[in-house]
Amino acid sequence: MEDMRKPIPVEEAISRVWERRPNGATDDIPITDVDNRRLSDDIFASHSVPSFPKSPYDGFALRSADTTEAGRNHSVSFKVVEHIGAGELPQKQLHEGEATRIMTGAKIPDGADCIAMFEICQTYTDNGQSYMSMTRTMESGQNIIEEGSEVAKGDLLIPRGTMINPGVKAVLATFGYSDVKVSRKPVVGIIATGTELLDVDEDLEPGKIRNSNAYMIASQIKRVGADYRYFGKLEDNLEESYDMVSKALAEVDMLITTGGVSVGDFDFMPAIYDKLEADVLFNKVAMRPGSVTTAAVSGDTLLYGLSGNPSACYVGFELFVRPILQHQLASQKPFLKRIKAVLGTDFPKPNPFTRFVRSYITYHNGSVHALPSGIDKSNVVTSLANADALTVLPGGTRGFKNGDDVEVLLLDDREGQREF
Ligand SMILES: Nc1nc2c(c(=O)[nH]1)N[C@H]1C(S)=C(S)[C@@H](COP(=O)(O)OP(=O)(O)OC[C@H]3O[C@@H](n4cnc5c(N)ncnc54)[C@H](O)[C@@H]3O)O[C@H]1N2
Ligand code: MOO
Ligand SMILES: [Mg+2]
């Protein structure tokens, strides 16, 4: 009998790699380059916002007490003693009957406790002196943005691990982060194995296929925010593959191979793990596709043997590689976000293994529906193109029906969750 592998539950496989997760490093980079990177430190408010009381409108700063007599038939007048725009500091303190002409964003003069918008004020000049009159009463504090009303100094604004989007970037700029500490992108090596593999620019030949896995994995790595290094495609040859795997291991933070991981006569990855004396964490998982997914540690480096079958390779990455990379990238929610959905088709045949069906989700009548994105086979590549979720169909003795409640893992989501 060939060597028998014992399948372990998906959760167990995930926890075995999780226990061996490496921590990430930090880069200090200019704010212009931080899009889609993750913060490696908490961001606190280095000052209050606003740091001075300011006007939200173009108008007049005045003392509300001076408006108590104002009414529809009675206007009150103010002597305009100063004129300031945003960025200019008021020099005059306001006394009874005085107003400052003030623009949006300018600091409120001492003595003033409200802003009257231009729209309720009339202006005139008398003997070269500017005046303003109005017929409305004002309340103390009306139309004033108080110092610290948005954020107090020392407040935690954005936790470490957050991905930097345009809003986060605005906050960083507000607080003077010209350089930002972000998680360093781990470099993941990719090696595709298979004598049948052609490059993407080669013409198809009988018995051969183009290498799609290397491009797919590179793209999955990029989606997570890490970097990759492609070491090329190799023929199924033990010595050559061993040499390339050992060389690559020394140059990357993590290594992924595709193909050659099952029990075929030209599946050399198991022999390579032996030769490397790698610590094999698992080599059979009770899941479909991707049951032959293998993970090992060589030295300190995680080494994944993903299946050659494209869908199995894809799912193996999402379940076992992605959370580790997201952890290295300082994500506090490294696992795929899992939500409830309504199954949109029948899966009548039971399967002892848990299935991860490449799916797309739609929303109607307030609920999420999950439908297969193509043929549900491990060797299929086309169902991946339209997949934005994996529908989880737990292994067991029953099938599933259209309308059943299921759980789906979201592939394009950027928030994630704390546990699998
Ligand atoms: N007797 C058994 N046979 C197989 C078993 C088993 O348990 N017993 N497992 C099957 C399962 S499940 C899978 S999945 C595959 C896994 O195969 P490998 O990981 O060893 O991959 P290969 O044999 O190298 O290739 C499988 C398949 O994938 C194509 N391939 C490979 N590399 C690429 C690539 N870079 N881009 C696109 N397609 C690729 C390859 O041509 C093969 O068709 O084993 C089953 N067999
Ligand atoms: O590993 Mo295979 O993908 O279960 O089909
Ligand atoms: Mg094989």
Q: Give the closest ligand to the alpha carbon of residue 315.
A: 2
Closest C-alpha to ligand 1, atom 5: 262
Residue nearest to atom 41 of ligand 1 (CA): 196
Q: How far, in Å, CA of 92 to CA of 235, rounded? A: 82
Q: Which residues pair with 77 in a beta bridge?
A: 133
Best of 261, 291, 353 to mutate for ligand 2, by most ligand atoms within 8 A of CB? 291
The reported pTM is 0.94
Say how far apart CA 414 and CA 93 lie, in whole Å.
51
Residue of 5, 311, 378 best suited for mutating to test ligand 2, as the one with most atoms within 8 Å of CB? 378
Distance from C-alpha of 166 to C-alpha of 115, rounded to nearest angstrom: 32
Ligand 1 atom showing the smallest separation from residue 2 Cα:
1
Q: How many CB atoms are located within 10 Å of the residue 91 CB?
A: 11
User: How many whole angstroms from 71 Cα to the centroid of ligand 2?
Assistant: 81
Do the beta carbons of residue 310 and residue 316 sit within 8 Å? no
Ligand 1 mutation target, pool 292, 309, 317, 380, most atoms within 8 A of CB: 309
212 lines ligand 1 (CB under 6 A): yes
For ligand 2, the distance from its centroid to the CA atom of residue 226, given in whole angstroms, is 26
| DSSP letter (8 states) at residue 239 | H
- Residues near 80 by Cβ (< 8 Å), separated by ≥ 6? 60, 98, 99, 100, 101, 123, 129, 130, 131, 132
Structural domains for the chain: 10-25+184-328 (3.40.980.10), 29-49+149-183 (3.90.105.10), 59-134 (2.170.190.11), 337-410 (2.40.340.10)
Q: Regarding beta strands 187-193 and 179-183, do their DSSP bridges make them parallel or antiparallel, or are they unpaired?
A: unpaired
Q: Does ligand 1 come within 6 angstroms of the Cβ of 147?
A: no
Residue 91 CA to residue 367 CA, distance in Å, equals 60
> Tens of pLDDT along the chain (420 residues)?
455 899 999 999 999 999 999 999 999 999 999 999 999 999 999 999 999 999 999 999 999 999 999 999 999 999 999 999 999 999 999 999 999 999 999 999 999 999 999 999 999 999 999 999 999 999 999 999 999 999 999 999 999 999 999 999 999 999 999 999 999 999 999 999 999 999 999 999 999 999 999 999 999 999 999 999 999 999 999 999 999 999 999 999 999 999 999 999 999 999 999 999 999 999 999 999 999 999 999 999 999 999 999 999 999 999 999 999 999 999 999 999 999 999 999 999 999 999 999 999 999 889 999 999 999 999 999 999 999 999 999 999 999 999 999 999 999 998 999 999
Q: Which of 312, 298, 303, 320 is nearest to 358 (CA)?
A: 312
